[in-house]
Structure 1
Amino acid sequence: MDTLDLLLHPVRLRIVHALSGGRPRTTSELSEALPDVPRTSVYRHVGLLAEAGLLEVADEQRVRGIVERHYRLRRERARIEEEAGASMSLDDHRRGFAAGTAVLLAEFNAYLDRPGADPFADSVGYRQGTFWLSPGELAEMIGELRQVFARRADNGPAPDRRSYLMSTIVFPSDGAGEAS
């Protein structure tokens, strides 16, 4: 199975997101983080991701006679390379968008189900905006956003920090009102 097929699956994408914070996790911890996914499915998908090299074993410990593995995401492997992205079919893009949307919805529902969830106090945002951009301006804006995200990407856990999921979705709108 290639990286594209691995990452365009909603459960595997959620596992990748759960490990993207940098802290290694066991399959049991991943199952707890994905309570709506059957434990056997989490184990199967972790196995597929590890076999493909997207996850690596960061540590092994013997717990009650069983070897417990802590998995770490290999960020450099857990991405769709430019060449593969350029060769994606329209259906691949539909699948990818659906998987990404499913992950986002599942993560948001999990947040809302936590005790004490307070979207206003937690600065939760879900806004859309339309920008009129030339191809060069779009490339420049994407570059600027990447720089902003890169400056914070290596932040680790700390007493005064909590993790935030941030998603960007960019695509041309329907073209209504385009200049002639």
Structure 2
Amino acid sequence: MATADLLLHPVRMRILQTLFDADPMTTAQLRDRIPDVAPATMYRQIAVLVDAGVLEVVAERRVRGTVERSYRVRPEMAVVDPAARAAMTPEDHQRAFTTFAASLLSDFDRYLKGADADPVADGVVYRQAAVSLTDDEFAVMVDEIENAVVSRIPNAPEGGRTRRIVSLVVVPDKPANPA
């Protein structure tokens, strides 16, 4: 498991989101998908993720005298564990959430810049709802949502399937009252 500082860096988060549940990619392919990141920054941040064990090299081939590597995410390492989250300060959580929100905005902006972007036809959804649940009911709901998404990750992008990014944010309306 990785730390929040490692995973929630803005560039590293974008690299991970691009690679998550996708075929392995080379640095050149990642640069094509994230063109606003400078090449030196991309190489440096990939190296950080490889050194931390979050990315693994799955293939190497020689290209014009250099070695081109293909990377994939090690999902079990790309998670901030509950103990690390519990150790985060409110400022750490604010920074992490800001990075997450900025990443969402970047993904949405990249989508909208596509020549054929049609949010209605493409099924873009952003919605907020308030629900009142006990802690047990909340845990069941989160498990249901997670299972609904995770069970579909193995679907191959074929037969009319479109790769979609699903993000979940849950924020209490106000802090829980101490017992």
TM-score calculated relative to the size of structure 2: 0.92
Map 1:141-160 onto structure 2 (within 5 A): 141-160=141-160
Return the alpha-carbon distance in structure 1 between the equivalents of residues 31 and 84 of structure 2.
Answer: 30
Runs of 4+ in structure 1 over 4 Å off: none
Cα distance, 1:135 vs structure 2: 1.3
Q: Is the 8 A contact 1:60 1:67 kept in 2?
A: yes
Match of 2:27 in 1: 27
Q: Is the 8 A contact 1:21 1:156 kept in 2?
A: no
Map 1:127-166 onto structure 2 (within 5 A): 127-166=127-166
Map 1:114-133 onto structure 2 (within 5 A): 114-133=114-133
Cα distance, 1:98 vs structure 2: 0.8
Cα distance, 1:39 vs structure 2: 1.6
Match of 1:76 in 2: 76
Secondary structure of 1:76 counterpart: helix
Amino acid at match of 1:144: E
C-alpha offsets along residues 129-165 of structure 1, whole Å, 9 cap, x if unaligned?
1111121111111111111112102223324222100
Cα distance, 1:109 vs structure 2: 0.4
Return the alpha-carbon distance in structure 2 between the equivalents of residues 21 and 117 of structure 1.
Answer: 22
Cα distance, 1:22 vs structure 2: 2.8
Secondary structure of 1:170 counterpart: coil
Return the alpha-carbon distance in structure 1 between the equivalents of residues 99 and 126 of structure 2.
Answer: 18
Q: Is the 8 A contact 1:22 1:156 kept in 2?
A: no
Return the alpha-carbon distance in structure 1 between the equivalents of residues 148 and 134 of structure 2.
Answer: 21
Cα distance, 1:174 vs structure 2: 4.0
Amino acid at match of 1:54: V
Cα distance, 1:173 vs structure 2: 1.3
Cα distance, 1:59 vs structure 2: 0.5
Secondary structure of 1:104 counterpart: helix
Amino acid at match of 1:6: L
Match of 1:5 in 2: 5
Q: What is the count of residue pairs matched by the alignment?
A: 174
1:100 aligns with 2:113: no
Structure 1 residue runs of 5 or longer lacking an equivalent are 176-180
1:113 aligns with 2:113: yes
Amino acid at match of 2:45: H
Cα distance, 1:29 vs structure 2: 1.0
Cα distance, 1:100 vs structure 2: 0.7
Q: Is the 8 A contact 1:26 1:71 kept in 2?
A: yes
Cα distance, 1:54 vs structure 2: 0.3
TM-score calculated relative to the size of structure 1: 0.92
Return the alpha-carbon distance in structure 1 between the equivalents of residues 39 and 108 of structure 2.
Answer: 20
Return the alpha-carbon distance in structure 1 between the equivalents of residues 117 and 123 of structure 2.
Answer: 11
Return the alpha-carbon distance in structure 2 between the equivalents of residues 31 and 40 of structure 1.
Answer: 11
Match of 1:178 in 2: none
Secondary structure of 1:71 counterpart: strand
